[in-house]
Amino acid sequence: MSARILVVDDIESNVRLLEAKLSAEYYEVLTASDGPTALAMAAAERPDIVLLDVMMPGMDGFQVCRRLKDDPETRHIPVVLVTALDGRADRVAGLEAGADDFLTKPIDDVMLFARVRSLTRLKSVIDELRDREASGRRMGVIAGAASRLGGSGGRVLIVDDNLRQAERVASELAVEHRPVVESEPYKAVLTARGPVDLAIVNANAKAFDGLRFAAQLRSDEATRNIPILAVVDVDERPKTVKALEIGVNDILARPIDPGELAARVRTQIRRKRYTDYLRSNLDHSLELAVTDQLTGLHNRRYMAGQLEALMRRACQGGEPVSLMVIDIDHFKKVNDSFGHDVGDEVLAEFAVRLASNVRAIDLPVRHGGEEFVVVMPDTELEDARRIAERIRLHVAGAPFRVMGGQELLSVTISVGCATSMGAGDSATALLKRADEAVYEAKSGGRNRVIARAA
């Protein structure tokens, strides 16, 4: 998986060395020699990863990282700080500024590429979600902002057979999170399928294989989106690389530093909430694309796809498809006499009565205005007529309460039914026959059902 990587360093030889290493692995490399240039390039070029030197004149790497993470347009770009510093205070400062990881000079090539591949996978997922969310915003079906999503108050699952270490980690996290400790993998999997924001897994557990457990979380559809923080001994490079390869999000070296633990956990939870927010918006936008917002029924767009598929099956010798087209009688008078708000109340109440009187296999749809359609798979015309009559009686049998119950309106409907004719028939022709039956019902005095055989 290739990526565009922005390398930021004020020393030309460092830039050229990193550029050569990354280019040899077929990454596209952008370069900048100072903080302001890096910020401008990140905003304009939208790289997949930023490799950022800490010690730069003017604006150092911590400041640049903080500015990138404060900007809604660049905060999702992973940042790896590259530094000769290896002290606790510097690591924590970088993580609190929003950095995803540290690489210490001289750079270990194996660790560099393992981290780049891991962050590239993460970035590609977020980019896809962001693109879909942007489409939803352009359609006007997504609102809100993710700027308020924080990294505290998370539910953290600690999976460790070293109970002393696990309890110490839990105690540190309990200040701002809700940790739970599990020492047995099968119990931990069950816990992970609940509301969990982060899993911390001891990769050196003696009673179970920590990396195998992490791989299991990644392969399970119910848990694959949970970020994983693997605890690895500081000198275990092969295990660290393997953890990143199987999809672990971040590494925490032992002995565990409380400040680094807090910063890494906060970063992972904040990112989890951001991706959850994007997925939620995506689900919402998909729902809005196929749902009528006033009635909660499916809309015309969704019906078209379902009806076409059923008609293809019917034309190839499958079970017949029936269609019911329903029009609310004299609906314009309701709007003219009481206003559109009352008209909306009538539509919403009718949708409830309609949905409660069709079968589980039927698809009730608001086709537009006061017209509704019910798609009825595996249904003969006489069965469709009988169900339509039941709906008509239920609507006409009790008045609609509107305006908070202050008014009672008598409502009736006209219904047309038609059934597929086998080979050569089409969804358009079926809908036209049901429409013609509705017109016949209305011209015959309304409040009636007409079933049209051909």
Residues taking part in catalysis = 370
Please, which residues have CB within 8 angstroms of residue 404's CB and are 6 or more apart in sequence? none
In 3D space, the residue among 179, 185, 186, 178 whose CA is nearest the CA of residue 160 turns out to be 185
Residue type (1 letter), 48: D
The answer to whether 287 and 159 are in contact (CB under 8 A) is: no
Is residue 245 left, alpha or beta, with left meaning phi > 0 and alpha meaning psi from -120 to 50? alpha
- Return d(Cα 451, Cα 381) in angstroms, integer: 7
- Return d(Cα 444, Cα 448) in angstroms, integer: 8
Residue type (1 letter), 70: D
Distances (CA, A) of 126 to 132, 185, 322, 340: 10, 29, 43, 42
The answer to whether 178 and 156 are in contact (CB under 8 A) is: yes
Please, which residues have CB within 8 angstroms of residue 70's CB and are 6 or more apart in sequence? none
The answer to whether 364 and 298 are in contact (CB under 8 A) is: yes
Is residue 339 left, alpha or beta, with left meaning phi > 0 and alpha meaning psi from -120 to 50? left
393 — phi, psi (to 5°)?
-65, -35
- Return the structure tokens found at 165: 């270490």
Measured in whole angstroms, the distance separating CA 418 from the mean position of its chain's CA atoms is 39
Residue type (1 letter), 222: A
In 3D space, the residue among 97, 103, 95 whose CA is nearest the CA of residue 7 turns out to be 103
Reduced to 3 states (helix: H, G, I; strand: E, B; else coil), residue 259 is helix
The answer to whether 427 and 304 are in contact (CB under 8 A) is: yes
DSSP string, 289-329: HHB-TTT-SEEHHHHHHHHHHHHHHHHTT---EEEEEEEET
In 3-state terms the chain splits into helix, strand, coil percentages (rounded to 5) of 50, 20, 30
- Return the structure tokens found at 31: 């370069």
